[in-house]
A and B are shown apart, each in its own frame.
Chain A
């Protein structure tokens, strides 16, 4: 409810009354259908298990383009990262893998009907979304890890310049079984089941080529539509709006500078149109956080919790003025946002595009929740981007409440431009002997 637009109500009573009526509207349908005071008819029972309705199942993002989807694409409510090892034994196998992924992703993101098979055979699809699937805002983003550029496929000379095995930072407690991988799949959609369906389809079509190494699912809380003004950023599991200060994705020149690899003459030519992807599974100690005074929480981030505004501002998208606060009296010098982006001249090139999801996995032996942030960022230059920013954040007060436990560095392949193209084609052609 706190994410309701509040600019419509001058009088709190009006707002409360409206909310009350909205609530009644949703809950009241059943009562109205059955008639007040009368028992519901048998037909109403089906409503209990009828599928929940969504108006966005037909939403589709075009698969073909210079860049892959899932980077500048608006972040939907469900996302996951699946890191895989490539089992293909030679370049032929690798090409088959990349062509198969291309073909499946093209189908899945457009939607369509699976072929019917003789019932004596296993069906063509898991069927968890029925024989005809809707795109539901699905995107699948394919990226390669540094380990794929070893001796197996003859790719060593074509490794993106900054691509390397992720190393631990001081606050990390990396679990080997949740780190690295030859290839990552970032799968996002309006609903969780659509992402899972896509994953099962991709894995079923790549036996002997891919083996899942780890997987982390996440979500983004939804907000009601707004009539005017920008949609506020979604909140993470520490209760703060996350994504506010991202670089403007509508600014193509800025994206070319900050997100898309290619301008650097020292990068292999095939990387043009790709991007460095960093994935970090960052545990949040939420019980402890919830027992931390609000003023301290806000000082840790340098933003107001309710609005997302910087500590010296009033609206979420106000720009903090650190120059006017050189000693950090308003925004502490070690506040997360101030360390992550001091907004000093020349720092622009270190900006990164964050596209995270919240995750919740279960319960630890101590009874505390295993929750946190599936942190995903994109940048044209891994070194200038994530690595520089993370090094600045080392030792920040936020570390008391978080701990990175997994993830990896990957290079997101350039897009598939048309039906004759496939993911990684430029890489394979550049390394053909």
Chain B
């Protein structure tokens, strides 16, 4: 059995645990393949995430400030894409991605670790001094995450709900620029969340496209509107790797222009579970 069909079988098993009657016309079996595809997507991203985290944390341990700074955002992107799954492990989500606001003592809190602690050192304090322990901890947390996700049965409701959850993330913390307050690399995270949401939507779209073409069109239009605004702020139009300008450079007008489609997406995607009978 290929790893792919194994995954599909595992996902099907997850579905059997589903409670209650499905309400939409979508047969539960129809969900098996997209859920399995999604798990592959997540594992691919996790694989890349581990590799990038390795480079990032090594740069910190080697005291290479500029290199570490430049690797910060491109590393996080992978996490941001799969956040709804990563968040299933609350302990790791806290140690990898919590922000200083989550702690009463803020940056000085001994429990404050992970990306944003490193961001504070690299971008605010402008040094790698004292960051090595946080870097080592991050590396081990990220590996831990990968192995836990490998063994995870993906609950379909969580997977489908992830499309909306990612847009809620964007609406709540990305538009305001509070996520990456020292590095101002919010647009990378923004793109990561949008990618992840769009992936989920694309996987399940065939199941609703016929029944609800207007809905599909509206969602796609709004994704396109978000992508178009983000595209203005890419450093190189044809090279996604080049990334984005600092969020400080995004005009208030464009921040507002993002709120519109993001809110409509959050509202529309919140019905996706219902449409699929989950």
Q: Which of B66-74, B80-88, B194-202, B268-276 contacts A (4 or more CB under 8 A)?
A: B268-276
In angstroms, Cα B252 to Cα A127, docked, is 33
Contact: A118 with B23, CB < 8 Å?
Answer: yes
Q: Which of A203-211, A227-235, A289-297 contacts B (4 or more CB under 8 A)?
A: A203-211
Name 22 interchain pairs, CB-CB below 8 A, sorted by A: A87-B257, A87-B260, A89-B260, A118-B274, A120-B23, A120-B24, A120-B278, A121-B273, A121-B274, A122-B270, A122-B271, A122-B274, A204-B267, A207-B263, A207-B264, A207-B266, A207-B267, A208-B222, A208-B260, A208-B264, A209-B260, A211-B260
Shortest CB distance A136–B (Å): 26
Q: Which of B212-261 contact A (CB under 8 A)?
A: 222, 256-257, 259-261
Contact: A211 with B259, CB < 8 Å?
Answer: yes
B-chain residues with CB within 8 Å of residue A201 when the two chains form the complex: none
Q: Which of A187-210 contact B (CB under 8 A)?
A: 204, 207-209
In angstroms, Cα B222 to Cα A209, docked, is 13
A85 within 8 A of B: yes
Shortest CB distance B278–A (Å): 7
In angstroms, Cα B278 to Cα A120, docked, is 6
Closest B residue by C-beta to A117:
B274
In angstroms, Cα B271 to Cα A118, docked, is 11
Contact: B274 with A120, CB < 8 Å?
Answer: yes
Q: A207-B266, A207-B267 are in contact. Are A120 and B273 (CB under 8 A)?
A: yes
At the interface, is chain A mostly helix, strand, loop or mixed?
loop
In angstroms, Cα B264 to Cα A211, docked, is 11
Interface size class of B (residues with CB under 8 A): 10 to 19
B-chain residues with CB within 8 Å of residue A204 when the two chains form the complex: 267
In angstroms, Cα B267 to Cα A207, docked, is 7
Shortest CB distance A249–B (Å): 38
- Which of B256, B261, B263, B270 has most A Cβ within 10 Å? B263
B-chain residues with CB within 8 Å of residue A208 when the two chains form the complex: 222, 260-261, 263-264
Q: How many A-B residue pairs have CB under 8 A?
A: 38
Contact: A120 with B277, CB < 8 Å?
Answer: yes
A-chain residues with CB within 8 Å of residue B270 when the two chains form the complex: 122
Besides the contacts A207-B263, A211-B263, what 15 more A-B pairs have beta carbons closer than 8 Å?
A87-B256, A87-B257, A87-B260, A89-B260, A118-B23, A120-B23, A120-B24, A120-B273, A121-B274, A122-B270, A122-B271, A208-B261, A208-B263, A211-B256, A211-B259
Q: Which of A62-120 contact B (CB under 8 A)?
A: 85, 87-89, 117-118, 120
1/0 per residue, CB under 8 A from B, across A276-312: the answer is 0000000000000000000000000000000000000
Chain B residues engaging chain A, CB cutoff 8 angstroms: 23-24, 222, 256-257, 259-261, 263-264, 266-267, 270-271, 273-274, 277-278
Shortest CB distance B134–A (Å): 31
A-chain residues with CB within 8 Å of residue B274 when the two chains form the complex: 117-118, 120-122
A-chain residues with CB within 8 Å of residue B277 when the two chains form the complex: 120
Shortest CB distance B105–A (Å): 18
B-chain residues with CB within 8 Å of residue A211 when the two chains form the complex: 256, 259-260, 263
Contact: B259 with A87, CB < 8 Å?
Answer: yes
Shortest CB distance B214–A (Å): 15
Shortest CB distance B222–A (Å): 8
Shortest CB distance A169–B (Å): 25
A-chain residues with CB within 8 Å of residue B267 when the two chains form the complex: 204, 207
In angstroms, Cα B264 to Cα A120, docked, is 19
B-chain residues with CB within 8 Å of residue A85 when the two chains form the complex: 256
Shortest CB distance A143–B (Å): 20
Shortest CB distance B275–A (Å): 8
B-chain residues with CB within 8 Å of residue A88 when the two chains form the complex: 260
In angstroms, Cα B266 to Cα A321, docked, is 61
Contact: B260 with A121, CB < 8 Å?
Answer: no
Shortest CB distance B182–A (Å): 22
In angstroms, Cα B32 to Cα A155, docked, is 52
In angstroms, Cα B274 to Cα A88, docked, is 27
In angstroms, Cα B264 to Cα A298, docked, is 53
In angstroms, Cα B277 to Cα A53, docked, is 40
In angstroms, Cα B268 to Cα A204, docked, is 11
In angstroms, Cα B274 to Cα A268, docked, is 48
Shortest CB distance B176–A (Å): 12
Closest A residue by C-beta to B22:
A120
A-chain residues with CB within 8 Å of residue B264 when the two chains form the complex: 207-208
A-chain residues with CB within 8 Å of residue B259 when the two chains form the complex: 87, 211
Closest B residue by C-beta to A204:
B267
Give the 8 A-B CB pairs with smallest separation, nearest first.
Answer: A121-B274, A87-B260, A208-B264, A120-B274, A208-B260, A207-B263, A207-B267, A207-B264
In angstroms, Cα B278 to Cα A88, docked, is 32
Shortest CB distance B235–A (Å): 26
Q: Which of A205-244 contact B (CB under 8 A)?
A: 207-209, 211
In angstroms, Cα B261 to Cα A315, docked, is 57
Shortest CB distance B34–A (Å): 17
B-chain residues with CB within 8 Å of residue A118 when the two chains form the complex: 23, 274
Q: Which of A389-412 contact B (CB under 8 A)?
A: none
Contact: A121 with B271, CB < 8 Å?
Answer: yes
Shortest CB distance A335–B (Å): 42
Shortest CB distance B276–A (Å): 8
In angstroms, Cα B257 to Cα A204, docked, is 18
Shortest CB distance A80–B (Å): 21
In angstroms, Cα B199 to Cα A62, docked, is 48
1/0 per residue, CB under 8 A from B, across A116-143: the answer is 0110111000000000000000000000
In angstroms, Cα B273 to Cα A204, docked, is 18
Shortest CB distance A220–B (Å): 33
Shortest CB distance B20–A (Å): 9
Closest B residue by C-beta to A89:
B260
A-chain residues with CB within 8 Å of residue B256 when the two chains form the complex: 85, 87, 211
Shortest CB distance A68–B (Å): 26
Closest B residue by C-beta to A120:
B274
In angstroms, Cα B24 to Cα A208, docked, is 27
Closest B residue by C-beta to A211:
B259
- Which of B274, B277, B278 has most A Cβ within 10 Å? B274
Shortest CB distance A118–B (Å): 6
Closest A residue by C-beta to B24:
A120
In angstroms, Cα B263 to Cα A120, docked, is 20
In angstroms, Cα B164 to Cα A121, docked, is 12
B-chain residues with CB within 8 Å of residue A87 when the two chains form the complex: 256-257, 259-260
B-chain residues with CB within 8 Å of residue A89 when the two chains form the complex: 260
